[in-house]
Structure formats: structure tokens, C-alpha cells
Structure 1
Amino acid sequence: MDEHAPTGLANQSLLNKIDKLRELNVKSLELPQLVVVGDQSSGKSSVLESLTGFSFPQDPGLCTRYATQISCRREPRQNGFVSIIPRAGADAATVDRLRSFKRPIPYPTNEILTRIMTEANQAMGIRMSKNDTDLSLQAFSEHILKIEINGPHQEHFTVIDVPGIFRVPSPPLTTDSDVFLVRNLVESYMQNSRTIILAVLPSTIDISTQEVLKMAENADPDGIRTMGVLTKADLAIEQATQDVVKELVLGKRNQVRLGYCVVRNRSADDEKSTISDRLAQEKAFFMESAWKSLEGSGRCGIESLKSRLSDLLLTISKKEFPNVKSDVAKNLDQCRNELENIGPSRKEQNAQRMYLGRLGSKFQSITQCALNGYYNSEAIFVKDTSLKLITGITRMNESFANDVWKKGHKRHISPSWNSEGEVAYDIADSDECKSPFKEIHDNHPELHDIVEMEDYECSEPKAFSNDPITEHIERVYQENRGPELGTFSGVILAVTFKEQSQKWEPLVLAHVSKSIMLVHDYIYRLLANVCPDKQVRDQLWGFLVDELRAAYTRAMEQARFLLRIERNGTPSTFNHYFNSEVQKKRQDRMSATLEKEAGTYYTVDRHTTTKAVPLTSIGNLVINIENMQQMREDILDVLSSYYKVSRKRFVDVICRQVIGHFLLEGEESPLRVFSPELVMGLEAEQLEMIAGEDAETKHRRAMLEAEIKNLETAMKLLRG
């Protein structure tokens, strides 16, 4: 016996820790446990009495109206206590009142025990008789009654009894809602993945019809943590009924994974026999010939059942103990984070201002990372990749530049228009890179009168063969020519350039609108992350929307201003690239013409040939060109050169000023609206409206503080 003592002590220490954790009643923590479930007349109370040695009072008003935790421990002295574990989430006053309830259990005075149980029911607010008219009383409670039984002959054993399932209420004591309340309470215990479900079923009924087993199957589909207990074996007098019970016990019928045990209950008239007397009577009963075939199965009688349950409890406790530690640490972190997000109590203005100021600082800190692409600095960018703001904006700017270059002109300038030596931006075209602009637009009606609602699809430029730009230039020249000789008026260039760039306006307004929607959605999403309190977030958002709208309006106005300057003003540039481009085009045209007149001639050494143009041919080219042709060519060279210079300049200005300054980095950028500076300027009424606490927030903070306190206590227990 002594050689097993260390193991026994270690096991007892482990089970003691779990019992102490259960006393904390941490709602989010699942603990290894045995839970007894069954109908009200299943023989559940008799099984519990035999397992624990605790005799419940027989008063009908004291039947189980709450979960009861019965803990047996081996102690030198025999004693016991009745106490109450408050339900998770109870207010501080209720917790203190119920925690103070502790009564010693007298032995063996049943009258005093009845009085103690009555006091416990009263403390929990239980209606015990039809004469109780107090509307604050209830038939069932979520509090837990704890019964401790200590003695030199006890083995460490803890079991939880839940109210018996019933289907027909007994008004006014119980109602239809109580039927569902009890069912939900029982199911909540059964759903715990670390619970061994002890389903108590009378031997005299057809178990295939039992609702308890169906509930167990729903909670434990694989049947790996469900054991059946067949009670009232002495009442199964028919041979067919006995055969069914024996087949279940021996595993010959469809069964739960942990199998079935069978017991004989104390009769209803037996009020004087001791536990020892009952065990002896049960042992003799199963020695009778009708049950002889079960001998050696290890599944007959209370002693076998208790031994099997003790092993199961210890096994699951050892297996799940490391996971319990992990869960406590995880839940503690989650509660602390949530409490941090809620922030401290915000009754005073200073607390409200400090709370909003911290949110504003966090918002600006994350936004700076989003603008600089420092995505590894904040975990939020992994959680929500749509917050990678500068990546989305850069991709849109590149797409905008490509569209203006490839499709922004109305007509191609030559029969074989090409890239003119430029290379397009290589933009990934995956679902991850696409922002749901229509969804953003639909979700934010505050943008509808600011942004362009229709997504502009830029058409391909007109082919040279279908609508030659030279013919258009000649028409414009003929309609707008002045007295100039050998040159053309600036009006000609202004008119042709404005028409050639007519798609710029819808392209720009669509691009700026999408950028606004991307920024707006970023602000909305980030605010939801840094401010989880929905009431505060909604009030804050309502306060910020007007400022955001003003910022977006400024961006759209700047875009339209730049469009007017670039397209409606007098064409002008001081970029040396313009003259270089004009000369290059003239040179290319001359080279192409001379190429047609060139012939092949021998060089002086007569061994090689070269291509050359006779001087007479060059003279004819210059002399014979028509005035209108020369004018068309000159206007086209200037127009195409100026368009190219203007396009490059315009794309940069839109991206730098409208997007970069007005939407992202400028002093009046919408990204700067929510900041500590704004919070410092709020008046008292505004602070209260935005950051003032409602009753729900106060209640949630109190619950989190209590949960954290319990989890911290649990962590100390686990580390001890």
C-alpha cells in the first residue's frame, strides 16, 4: 500500500486543483468532470447517494433545482459542508452574499440537513412551494450548490448532479419556460468536451426511446465520453427485459463507447438501512441466477461503478490538465485585451478624453505604418489585409497611369501607333488586389453625392484608318484659322488638344472616386479594429463623417480644378522635352520621306554599296510640298509632342496632389481627422455623447474584471 502512496498523493493533488478551479466557476473554462443526467424518476438521486454517501432530504420542495457539485475527500476527521458557488457573471453583491453561505453538515441529523438545504434554496431565490407568491423567486437557478463530504474512509471523488429532465410543468411551481430552462442547463454541461456524461436510465424502459441518450448523442456524437447506468434492476422482473439489460452490460447491443453498468437502487420504503447494508444487499442480488451471467464483467453494482468512474475521472483529468492550463492562459489574455479595448471607467471628462486620445493615437500610429508600408509593425495587417492602404493606392495609381497612356487619347496619332518607347506598369490581376468598390459605395451612402457612382470603362482610341487625326486637324484649322502666314494660331492647338484629351475627365474622376472609397473604407475598418465598443464607434463615426466628407469634397474639387487648368487653359510648357520631342518627330517624318527617295550606289572603292538621296530629289521634296500638308504635319507634331508632355505631367499632378496630398498626407487629409488633437478640442457635451458609458458597457467591464480575477487565481492554482 505504501509503495503506491506517492502516486495517490499526486492524483489527489491534481483532483484537488480541479475542484478548486471549479469553485471559481469561470464561465469560459471547461474542466474535466463527471455529470449525472437523467429524467426526474430515473433513480438518479439513489445512484448519487450510493456513490457519495450523501443522503439528500426527501422533502419534495427540495428536489434538485440547480446543479449540485458533490465532492468527497479523504480526511482524518469526518465532516462536511454545504456552500454555494455563484453563477458566472453574477454581480459583486450577489457573489459576496452567496460566497458567505457555508453550513456544516450534521451527522446524521436529517432534520437539520433539511433546514440547511432550505436555507440554501432561499439564498438562491428558489420557489419551493405553490404558496410562494414572491415574483422574484424562480423554480430553477444557475448557481451551484456545493456539498463537501470528508472522512477517513472516503476516496477522492467529485460528481455533478444536474436537475432532472421533465416535460410537463406543474403550475405555479414550474412553467413551460422552466422545461426549456432545465433542458438548456443540462445540455450546457453535456456540451463540455471534458465532461464524462453519466446517463441514468431505468432498466424497466426501452432505452432506444430515452431523450437523455439522444441529448448525449448530440453532445457526444462519437460516444467517447458517455456511460450508461441502468438503475432499478430489481424491478426488471420479465425475462425479456433482463436479457436486454444483460446484453447492454456485456456490450452485445448498440452501445455508447464507455459501455453500461447496472445497479440496484434502494427501495422507496427503505429509510433505515446504511450504505453498507445496501451494498451487501446489492451484491447478493447480482449473485442470483438471473444475473449470474454478468459475474466478472466488472459492471455490476455501485462499487464497480464507482471504481470505474474514479478511473475515468482521473484519466480525463490527467489527459486534459495541460489543456486546461493552456485555456486559462488563452482566456486570460483575451479578457485582458477586451478589457483594455473597453478601457477604464469613463465617468469623468478626463477619463473620456484620455480614452478617446489613446484611440486617436493608435489610429494614427497604424495609419503611418499603412502609408509607409511597414506592415510587419502591426498584427492588424495580417488580420485584415485590406488595411494595406499604400499598396492599394499605388496599384490604383499605376492602373490609372496605364489607362491614361494607353486609352486616354481620343484618336491614334499615326496608322501604327505604338508604345513610343514606354513600358506599362505590371499590375497583378488577382482577387486579392481588387477592392469591392460597389460594395463600399452601397454600404456608405454618405459618399453618394461626392464620388462618381458609375465605374467608368475607358474605350479604346479610334483607329487611324477609321478617323484619321490629320483630317480632324485640317477641319479644325479651316474652322479656326486666322491671318497667320506659315504658322498657326494657339487656338488650333487648344481645340485639338481638348478634344484629344476629352476622356481624361471621366478617367480622373473615376480614379479619385475609387481612391476616396478606398480611404473611406480603410478609416471605417481601422476604426472598427481600434475601437471595439460599438456604441462609442457609432457615435465617433457620426461625429467624424462631416469632416471626412469635407476632405473628400476638397479632393474632388482639386481634381476638377486641375482638369480645367490642363484642358481648358492655353497650352503651355517650359519642359525642354517638348522641343526635343517636336524636333524628333519632324526628323522622323523627313527620314521616312527620304527613305522612299533613296537609291543604292557604289562607294568610291566600288566594292560596297550604300543608300543615298540625290540633291535634286531633296530640293523637289522641299519645293513641292503643299501648304496644307505642311500645316497638318506641323500641327500634328506639336499636338502629339505637347499631349505626351501634358499627359505625363497631368498623371503625376493628379497622383501627387489629389491622391497623395488631399487624401493621404496633407494637413487636411481625411486620415488625419481622427487624432489626439481633435480629441483635445472636443467640448464636454461632445465627449459625453461619444465616450460616455452606457449600462451595458459598465456591466461588461465588471464581468471582465471578475473573470480576470478568477482566471488569475486559476493560474496561480495551476502553477502551484
Structure 2
Amino acid sequence: MGSTETAGSGSKGGNGASSSSEHIGTSSLDALQSQDSRKVMDIVDKLRQNGLSGILQLPQLVVSGDQSSGKSSVLEAITEIPFPRKENLCTRFATEIIMRRASTASIITKIIPDKQRPDTEKKKLEKFTSTILDFTELPSLVEEATDLMGLGDDGSGTVRAFSRDVLSIEIAGPGRPHLTLVDLPGLIHSDNKHQSKEDVELIRGLVDDYIKEKRTIIMAVVSAKNDYANQIILKKCREIDPKGSRTIGIITKPDFLKAGSENESSWIELAENKDIIFELGWHILKNRSDEEASKTFVERNSAEAAFFAQGRYRNLPSSMLGIESLRGRLSDMLYKHLKAELPSLRKELNEKLQEVTKELDKLGEKRATTHEQRRFLTTVSHEYQQVVEAAVDGRYESDFFGDLDPEGSVYHENALRRLRAVVQYLNLQFAVYHETKGLPLGHDIEGNEASELVLDDDYASFEENQLVETASEAIKRVRNMLVLSRGKELPGTFNPLLISQLFWKQSANWKAIAEFHVEKVAAVCSNFVTSAINSTVSKDVAARLQALRVDPTLTSRLHHAKAELIRIIADKNRHPITYDPAYTAIVQEKRHENHEEKYQHLVKQAEVHVFNPSTKQNDRFLKPDVLNSGRGALLELDMDKTSAQDALACQQAYYDEEVKYFIAAVTKQVIERYLLRDLAEDTISPMSILDMADEEVAFIAAEPEETTRSRANLEQKKATLEKGQQTFRMALGSFK
């Protein structure tokens, strides 16, 4: 309260009250609170002392009204605190009066800066704090606070009229109740040379901010000197609190009304709740006039009682007249209001604590020192390893993997987190394609059945140059190769190198397909690791970990995987070697198939059907002469063709066995060994964190300045909220 609108003197003893410290507590204030009310107030007071008012909206009384309505005098009458006064000046900022019971008397003043102020100005205002023992010291402190807020003359002739800063005055003493009231600047009707349009809007916005809070009881002060229909505060209260469930109307200056006049009657009807209706009702006070400014509070109360004992006021209930009955009404009203609000306040406190805790969890451990940073990264590596190892093993219990979507694509972002499942799918695609379509020369002599697995379009490019040929075309091609590769072997045999050339030709696509598959799995692993890191730690730390540790490791692992693939391809390109007994069996089977095909052709030529009258069906017979004459055809006179068929059979038998080995080698020796195995350990592990230099640890884990500030703010909030929880645990049970 920088100053008040009620005239008077701020000098020692100016209000007729002693300035000595023993009068800081006043026994008449005991009427303001019952025993139960004090218990409820104790809880709110402890919450306020713990700093909860800066986080949660705590219950409070707000005194608000139009400029010069007498609200500061109302506040002074309720608290019996002689606030400093200056003539013709108004309240220029919100003043929070916190009264609490204590064994020793004291007055503590401080400034709560407007949140919109720059940090440098906030720090300057926050430094203002002072403890006094005598009310006579209060005026100078208020003036100092006023200057600090920038409301004094800065030398340029420009004077700010109002501020959104708050002056907090905490008054403690043995006779003090636990009570918080806020005196707000008076609402301005229009701008003038002393108060600009900006000032008008600032005050209205400030008043709105206070009275719109659901836990605030509004003391709407209206002056009988002015028509109440024109007083802004009543319009605001009806807009913000239409039912009047938390508004009490206070009528001041009734002594300015002419006794027996219609104007007096209209004000009395208002006080009787017949015009503007508030659930909490109305109350009338007579404050000291200018001539009575030097009277004590006892004299003030006696004069007020004498005034209401005459005229029409005698017909009104005593409960709505005077300061003594107002204290009783406020006591009952506050008790009911606070008791009703405490459960929701406790719930809101718990919810806010959960929010703050979650925000802190997102920031991770505190990491200002190298030890804290290394500890933080070690914790991150443990969490990361758990996720990666679970994905590699195919254990998808963690929330990281999300819900299973049976209709989703294996390439969906969420599905790609199920690393083992995706790699298994890709390996199967690779295996099926290799066995069915991975041939540069496609022909039907193998008799392979198509797989029911639907292959992705990724492999389509490998089929663009594939030459499809019939069995006879394949034999002709091999026969020509046999002729051109002939060495010293006897007729009817073929150069052993022919099998190598045929196999190399038939497996020419293996390297490209395998490299494509390895690259694809490596990309899946890289995307997965990025998701795993981002889910474990904040994006800034994740990005640095990825750049310095993960990406180089993944590149190295892919390099080793490709090197292993090159070794496998090199082995494949050497002369065919096999010790599998199945190879001989397959060759014999294919020779038998070729012979059987010729024999069945001969049988079909010798076949004749004769009608049988007894069975009325055609009987099947073979002509012996045709069979005998065709036996020579079973012997192939073209030895090169026979050798070509044998070579093709040997090559196909070897291919069928070797393709299975190649698929197994790529999936096990390349994919499993170099891309999946030890993925967590190689990328981010506790051991790798321990091996990092301090500089690298600091670069990766050091918090940005804004994060440090945010953490400090959140930690302070959390501690404050936890104190609030403890207050409720200790005291709330008494009010259930």
C-alpha cells in the first residue's frame, strides 16, 4: 500500500494508536476467528509460508473498489493496523497484508516483482526486504518500495502512476490471527492528466487477475457518496462471480447520506440484498472522517456504534452493521470457504507435484560437475542397454515398443522399434528371393515352387536384366560353353572348370543382393538406435551422443559386416567344393529325371487304347515293336549334349546346396555377428562412458544454461510442493 485515499497523518501516534512494539498485536481481532477457523487458517498460513502462493492460488480476501471508495480504511479497520497515509493520493500497487500469530512481534516488508519485469530489475526489487518492530517505521519503508518500483520522479518529469509489483507486509505477533488480505489499487473511471489510459487498463487488468481466482473472496467496497450503479467494481463482480457466491459487498461513508432521503433508502435496500444480490450479503461500515483521523481504533468503533444506533439503521440486523460484526461474519465466511476449498487445493497441489516431477524426470539427473555428468551418462547407458537388448532379443514388454498393430506395416516408425521382428522379416525376404528369384538366368528345370511370402518391391531392380530360358535353351547354352572350354578330357565328359563357370554365372547377383540386404538391415539398426537414444535422454544430449559415439560405431560395424560379406563372396568365387552326400544324390536324381522323361515319351508313343465290350471301357496296351524300335532313342548319340545335361545337373545340384549355405552365412556371419550382436554394448555402454575423457563427458552431458535454470526452478517448486503435502498430512485429518 503505497498510500491511501483516506486523509490522515502518518506521523507517530497520528491514528491515536501507540507506536510501540507491544501494541502490534490487538486483542479485538480475536473475534475474527473461531478455534476451528484458526486451525484451517493455520494450514493456509503454513502453505503460504512454504511459498505455495507462488505456485498455487491460495484462499485469500481481496479488498477492491473504485478509486476513493474507502477500501483502504476498511482494511485498516479490520486489521487495526495504522497504515501510512498521504492526502489526495491513492493506492498505487497491490499490497498483500499477511497476519500471523507468533511469539514475538515483527513487521517484515518485501517486494514481489511483476513477472514481466526483466531479470535485472527483478533481482533489484527482490533485494528489498526489511524487518521492523514499530509501525512508525512503515511509512519510510513504503516510500522506499514505491521509488524502487519506479513510481517516483525519475528526473525526466515522467512519473509512473501504478505498478503491477506487489508490496508484501507480514505482521506477526502474539495476538494476530492467521489472515491474508490484499488491498488493490482503486478502479479508475477515466483517464486524466495524472492517470493515463494505460493506467486505467493496467488497474482493471490487475483487479481482474486477483478477483477472477476461484479461491478468492471479494470484498467489493462501494462508497455511499457516489451512485452505486456507476461504480465499476459491482459490474466486474457480477461478470466474474455472477451468483455472488464469493462476494461480500461493503458499503462505506453512509454518514454522507441525508437521513430519511430516498437516496438513503436505496442504499439501505442495497444493503438488504434487494437490488444487487450477493450470496454472502452486504455490510455497512462508518469509517473515520477527516476530523476523526486522530481517534484511536476504540474511539472509532464507539463512534460507529453510536451512528448505527439511530435513524433507519436501528431497523437493520446488527449482524450487517459495524466493524465488530463484520469480523464475526468474515470469520464464519472464511472458515466455510477455506474448509470447502482445502480438498480441491490438496488435489491441485498433488497434480502440480506430479507435473513438476515429470518435467524434472525429462531433464534427467543433475549434471553440473564432471562426476555428475559421468554418473548421468552411466544411468542413461543402463536404460539404453535395457531397451536395445530387449529389442535384439525380441522381448517387447517395455512401453518403448508401444502397442502391437496387426494391420500396421513392418516399416512403420513404431514397428521399426521391434528390431528383432523387423530383421527376421528382412532375412526371410532375402532368403526367399535368393532361392526363387535371385538368378540372372531363370529356367524351369529345377521345378522350384513359388513361395507364398509376398516379396517387397525393393528387389525388383535385380530382376530387370534377368534372362528367362527354357530347359532346352539352357542345355544348348551349356553345350556351347562346354565346346569352348574343352581341354584334354575324353568325349562324353567335361572340363571340371565348366561347373565353376556355370555356378559363377548363375550366382552373379548374389553379391549385389546381399550388399543391398546388409545395407537395409544396417539402416534399420541405425533408425532403431536413434529412437532408443531419443526415448532415453533429451534430444540435445542424444544428438551429441549419436554424433560422437553411436554413428562412428555403427559405421564401423557396417564396415566389418561388409568386409565379412566380401570374404564370403570370395569363398563363393573359388572352385566349387562340397562334401555333402546330398550333392551326389541330387545329381543322380536329376540324371534319372532326364532318363525318365525320355522313357515316358517313348511309352506314350507305344501306347494304344482298345475298347473292351465286357467292361465297356478302353483298355491300355503298349506296342512291343514300338518299344523295341525306340530303345535306341534312349541313348543320346550327341555326347556333347549328354555332357551338357550332366554339367547342368551338377551345377544345379551344387547351386541348390550352396544357396542355402550362402543365405545362412549372410544372415548369421554378417547380419547377426556384426549388425545385431553386442549392438547395445558397442554403441553406448557403462564401460564406454567410464573410458571417456572428462572433456568429452562435459561436451556431451553438460547442461545448457537454460536447462540449469529450469532445473533449479523445478527443484524449488518440487520442494515447496512437497512441504505443502507434508502440511496437509500433518493437519488436514482434523477437518474430515
Counterpart selection for 2:534 from 500, 519, 528: 528
- Preserved CA contact (<8 Å) 1:36 1:161: yes
Q: CA deviation at 1:414?
A: 2.4
* Structure 2 residue aligned with 1:677: 687
Counterpart selection for 1:19 from 38, 45, 48: 45
* 1:718 and 2:728 matched: yes
CA separation of 1:72/1:680 partners in 2, compared to 1, >3 Å: closer, same or farther? closer
Give me the whole-angstrom Cα distance separating, in 2, the residues matched to 1:171 and 1:538: 58
Within-5 A mapping of 1:30-429: 30-34=56-60, 36=62, 41=67, 57-59=84-86, 63=91, 65=93, 68=96, 70-71=98-99, 81-84=107-110, 101-104=130-133, 106=135, 112-118=137-143, 125-131=148-154, 140=163, 145-148=168-171, 157-160=179-182, 195-196=215-216, 198=218, 203-205=228-230, 227=246, 272=293, 306=330, 310=334, 313-324=337-348, 326-327=350-351, 330=354, 333-334=357-358, 337=361, 341-346=364-369, 349-376=370-397, 380-381=400-401, 387-405=417-435, 407-409=437-439, 413-414=443-444, 419=449, 424=453
CA separation of 1:61/1:406 partners in 2, compared to 1, >3 Å: closer, same or farther? farther
Q: CA deviation at 1:662?
A: 1.8
Unaligned runs of 5+ in 2: 1-32, 223-227, 404-413, 731-736
CA separation of 1:713/1:462 partners in 2, compared to 1, >3 Å: closer, same or farther? closer
SS in 1 for 2:96: strand
Give me the whole-angstrom Cα distance separating, in 1, the residues matched to 2:307 and 2:516: 86
Identity of aligned residues (%): 17
* Structure 2 residue aligned with 1:3: none
TM-score (norm. length: structure 2): 0.64
SS in 2 for 1:486: coil
Q: CA deviation at 1:507?
A: 4.3
Give me the whole-angstrom Cα distance separating, in 2, the residues matched to 1:63 and 1:642: 101
Please list the CA deviations of residues 455-510 of structure 1 after superposition, one character each: whole Å capped at 9, or x if unmatched: 9352696999x943436524642553332643555665556555655655554444
CA separation of 1:139/1:207 partners in 2, compared to 1, >3 Å: closer, same or farther? closer
The more displaced of 669-678 and 492-501 is: 492-501
Please list the CA deviations of residues 646-665 of structure 1 after superposition, one character each: whole Å capped at 9, or x if unmatched: 33333332222332222222
Give me the whole-angstrom Cα distance separating, in 2, the residues matched to 1:553 and 1:329: 46
Give me the whole-angstrom Cα distance separating, in 1, the residues matched to 2:262 and 2:563: 94
- Preserved CA contact (<8 Å) 1:357 1:676: yes
SS in 2 for 1:414: coil
Counterpart selection for 2:665 from 644, 649, 653: 653
| 1:473 maps to amino acid | A
Unaligned runs of 5+ in 1: 1-6, 218-222, 430-454
Q: CA deviation at 1:129?
A: 0.7
Aligned residues: CA RMSD: 6.2
- Preserved CA contact (<8 Å) 2:45 2:100: no
Give me the whole-angstrom Cα distance separating, in 2, the residues matched to 1:538 and 1:566: 40
Please list the CA deviations of residues 319-352 of structure 1 after superposition, one character each: whole Å capped at 9, or x if unmatched: 315414633653574476467x233531xx5554
CA separation of 1:302/1:212 partners in 2, compared to 1, >3 Å: closer, same or farther? same
Give me the whole-angstrom Cα distance separating, in 2, the residues matched to 1:587 and 1:315: 98
Please list the CA deviations of residues 109-160 of structure 1 after superposition, one character each: whole Å capped at 9, or x if unmatched: xx543234345667xx522312379xxx9975767725447787x8765455
Give me the whole-angstrom Cα distance separating, in 2, the residues matched to 1:385 and 1:172: 68
CA separation of 1:325/1:208 partners in 2, compared to 1, >3 Å: closer, same or farther? closer
Give me the whole-angstrom Cα distance separating, in 2, the residues matched to 1:542 and 1:394: 28
- Preserved CA contact (<8 Å) 2:544 2:700: yes
* Structure 1 residue aligned with 2:471: 470
TM-score (norm. length: structure 1): 0.66
Q: CA deviation at 1:21?
A: 1.5
CA separation of 1:96/1:187 partners in 2, compared to 1, >3 Å: closer, same or farther? closer
Q: CA deviation at 1:399?
A: 3.9
| 2:716 maps to amino acid | A
Please list the CA deviations of residues 368-424 of structure 1 after superposition, one character each: whole Å capped at 9, or x if unmatched: 333234444x6555598864433433343334434444543456542996537x675
Give me the whole-angstrom Cα distance separating, in 1, the residues matched to 2:667 and 2:311: 90
- Preserved CA contact (<8 Å) 1:32 1:316: no
* 1:481 and 2:482 matched: yes
Give me the whole-angstrom Cα distance separating, in 2, the residues matched to 1:583 and 1:187: 98
* 1:511 and 2:537 matched: no
* 1:699 and 2:709 matched: yes
- Preserved CA contact (<8 Å) 2:434 2:659: yes
| 1:326 maps to amino acid | N
- Preserved CA contact (<8 Å) 2:246 2:279: yes
SS in 2 for 1:481: helix
| 1:342 maps to amino acid | E
Higher Cα Rg: structure 1 or 2?
2
Q: CA deviation at 1:554?
A: 0.6
* Structure 1 residue aligned with 2:5: none
SS in 1 for 2:368: coil
Q: CA deviation at 1:105?
A: 6.6
Please list the CA deviations of residues 220-258 of structure 1 after superposition, one character each: whole Å capped at 9, or x if unmatched: xxx89985667779899999xx89x979977999xxxx9
SS in 1 for 2:528: helix
Give me the whole-angstrom Cα distance separating, in 2, the residues matched to 1:648 and 1:509: 17
- Aligned pair count reads 641
| 1:115 maps to amino acid | S
CA separation of 1:509/1:130 partners in 2, compared to 1, >3 Å: closer, same or farther? farther
- Preserved CA contact (<8 Å) 2:65 2:232: no
Give me the whole-angstrom Cα distance separating, in 2, the residues matched to 1:645 and 1:284: 117
- Preserved CA contact (<8 Å) 1:551 1:662: no
Please list the CA deviations of residues 289-310 of structure 1 after superposition, one character each: whole Å capped at 9, or x if unmatched: xx99xx99xxxx9779847852
- Preserved CA contact (<8 Å) 2:378 2:686: yes
Give me the whole-angstrom Cα distance separating, in 2, the residues matched to 1:695 and 1:610: 99
